[in-house]
Amino acid sequence: MTGFSRVSFGGQGVELDVEVRSVNHRFLDVVLKGPRSYVSFERDIKAIFQRLHRRGRIEVSITRRAQREGADLEVLPASLDRYVKLYGAACKRYGISTDSLGAFIGQVLLREGHLHDEEALVPEDEVAVLLRVVDEASEALLVMRESEGAALSADLSNRLEILQGQVSAIHDLSSVAPARLRERLMDRIQLIAGDVRIDEQRFATEVAFLSDRIDISEEISRARIHLTTLKDALTGGMEGVGRKLDFLTQEIGREFNTIGSKAQDASVQGIVVEAKAELERVREQVQNIE
């Protein structure tokens, strides 16, 4: 399920921006993008999202800036050395003089405020702030996804009503299938050999045999049960219901496939085609539900 949240924090000498985006995915996949000094906390950050979310690809982007006001403007040597080496390598590659190194460092300081050594250990108080801000972003994302889920539930309920109506239409047509089969067989016999006398008992036996082969009452019953279960699961508020709905849509699809292959009736097969198209729309939506 798609969603977006953004939480910012400023204090204790650091500014943090946590931006979270989620897109549809069958499983939960949390991807972290941020400073190298936060890599060691990736497991803790993922655990925060695993508490509230079950499915989706969630991208977490963390931006860290040192606060300018009241901050120590001393440049850390390791950070400065990296910038100087990059500048020197670029000048050498393009044959440019390094006379403007001072101006370059000035621009870096103007942009960064002061340079943060990404290899340094992160203070414990900053770690606590980081995890708290990530937790707030996760909760904000959940609120947005729940809002989208409510709209999605209403849409799925309407589509399930359509499917139930199509199953009822198939049932009505199948109830007269033996009589229609008898008429078709009689018409063919009259067309091929109209003067031949028909053994009524043998003819009735053949009709009964063929009627049994095209009987789809069990498939209709199972499709109705699956549709009812799917609707109950959708409105029941069960946690982690997405995979159950996914399974039920697969089972309903199997019943429609069997009905389409067994029913020797163009009208029934036409409804099956429409029902499978509607079910595919349901399946695509179900992929978004946790």
Q: Mind listing the domains of the chain with CATH numbers? A: 3-71+122-144 (3.30.230.10), 77-112 (no CATH), 146-286 (1.20.120)
Using one digit for the tens of pLDDT, what is the confidence trace for 211-241? 566 678 888 999 999 999 998 888 776 566 7
**How far apart, in whole angstroms, are the C-alpha atoms of residue 15 and residue 26?**
34
pLDDT greater than 70 at residue 71:
no
Using one digit for the tens of pLDDT, what is the confidence trace for 75-84? 455 566 676 7
Q: Is 225 exposed, middle or buried (0-12, 13-18, 19+ CB in 10 A)?
A: middle
Residue 30's pLDDT is 93
- Sign of the C-alpha dihedral, residues 221, 226, 229, 235? negative
38 DSSP assignment: G
Using one digit for the tens of pLDDT, what is the confidence trace for 128-143? 999 999 999 999 999 8
**How far apart, in whole angstroms, are the C-alpha atoms of residue 222 and residue 218?**
6
Question: Which percentage of the chain shows pLDDT scores above 90?
Answer: 30
Of 284, 278, 213, residue with least CA distance to 1: 284
**How far apart, in whole angstroms, are the C-alpha atoms of residue 241 and residue 132?**
28
**How far apart, in whole angstroms, are the C-alpha atoms of residue 258 and residue 275?**
13
State both tokens at 146: 């729940």
The residue to which tokens 């006398």 are assigned: 197
**How far apart, in whole angstroms, are the C-alpha atoms of residue 47 and residue 43?**
6
State both tokens at 113: 């405020």
pTM assigned to the model:
0.55
Confidence category of residue 102, pLDDT binned at 50, 70, 90: low
pLDDT greater than 50 at residue 57:
yes
The residues near 149 (Cβ < 8 Å, ≥ 6 apart) are 1, 289, 290
